[in-house]
């Protein structure tokens, strides 16, 4: 049997611009074990991706703030505190960087994000005053509750499905994947990963983005066939 997978989305199943690599449609629907998408994106993004990939909806969104397994959703993280911090950031002259529709945040339930061209120093200063943290995933700054992590979300999912976190193989690219890497059996950072993810991973891959992820999936299939 191939092992279950917990896969980051941006930087891991995408290219550098965040566009989904179409090879995901070949390899993920035919994976013969659970595939969990674990992302910093808002809940609708991984749900839609599961829908269009034809995968069961088992997802970790908002860096662990939102978890869906077996038709049940759970939330952790203080969205109101994140909103208060964001309002204060704007009051002090900051700009989250989104247009009026703000599709990056409008469905967020446990945290908020700012564009990478936002004033990082001011964002960190304000977040600190609200006992929140700021993480830089390489795709956005997340204003989040400390302790809300993808790895905790995976542990919660494992309480409802018949697997242990240690059964999983993880692939990821950034600081928000380190907690996943800490609880799974085997972890891989793609070559484009940040230093935190590289340090946390068991293995740093030679290839970047989906090329790196596919190299892991191919070798897992070879191990299974051997």
Ligand X SMILES: O=C(O)COP(=O)(O)O
The answer to whether 108 and 116 have CB atoms below 8 angstroms apart is: no
Question: Sheet harboring 186-189: ordered strands across?
Answer: 72-75, 66-69, 59-61, 35-38, 5-7, 169-172, 186-189, 203-204
Q: Record the tokens describing residue 69, joined without a space.
A: 């397994």
Give the gyration radius of the chain's Cα atoms: 17
The answer to whether 171 and 213 have CB atoms below 8 angstroms apart is: yes
Q: Any known ligand binding at 150? A: yes
With residue 101 as reference, give the H or E element that holds it.
none
153 binds Mg ion (CB under 5 A): no
Residue 20 CB, nearest approach to Mg ion (Å)? 12
Q: Any known ligand binding at 15? A: no
212 binds ligand X (CB under 6 A): no
Of residues 106-145, which lie at the interface with ligand X (CB under 6 A)? Answer: 137, 139-140
Distance separating alpha carbons of residues 215 and 225, to the nearest angstrom: 15
Q: Any known ligand binding at 41? A: no
**In terms of CB distance, is 11 or 153 closer to ligand X?**
11
Residue nearest to ligand X (CB): 40
43 binds ligand X (CB under 6 A): no
The single residue of 8, 78, 136, 194 carrying the catalytic annotation is 8
Q: Which residues pair with 177 in a beta bridge?
A: none
Tell me whether residue 8 is one of the annotated catalytic residues.
yes
- Out of 174, 179, 187, 213, name the contact with Mg ion by CB under 5 A: 174
Q: Any known ligand binding at 8? A: yes
Residue 8 CB, nearest approach to Mg ion (Å)? 4
- Numbered residues of the known binding site for Mg(2+): 8, 10, 173, 177
The residues that touch Mg ion, with contacts defined as CB under 5 A, are 8, 10-11, 173-174
């Amino acid at each position: 049997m191939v092992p279950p997978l917990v896969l980051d989305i941006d930087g891991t199943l995408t290219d550098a611009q965040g566009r989904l690599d179409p090879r995901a449609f070949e390899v993920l629907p035919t994976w013969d074990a659970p595939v969990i998408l674990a992302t910093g994106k808002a809940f609708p993004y991984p749900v839609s991706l599961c829908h269009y990939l034809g995968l069961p909806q088992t997802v970790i969104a908002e860096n662990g703030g939102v978890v869906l397994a077996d038709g049940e959703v759970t939330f952790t993280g203080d969205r109101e505190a994140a909103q208060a911090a964001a309002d204060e950031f704007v009051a002090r002259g900051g700009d989250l960087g989104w247009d009026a529709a703000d599709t990056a945040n409008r469905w967020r339930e446990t945290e908020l994000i700012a564009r990478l061209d936002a004033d990082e120093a001011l964002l960190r200063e304000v977040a600190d005053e609200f006992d929140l943290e700021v993480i830089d995933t390489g795709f956005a700054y997340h204003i989040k509750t400390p302790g809300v992590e993808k790895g905790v979300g995976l542990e919660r999912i494992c309480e409802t499905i018949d697997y242990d976190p240690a059964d999983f193989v993880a692939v990821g690219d950034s600081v928000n994947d380190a907690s996943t890497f800490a609880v799974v059996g085997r972890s891989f950072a793609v070559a484009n990963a940040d230093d935190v993810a590289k340090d946390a991973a068991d293995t740093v891959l030679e290839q970047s983005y989906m090329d790196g992820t596919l190299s892991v999936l191919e070798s897992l299939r070879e191990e299974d066939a051997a």
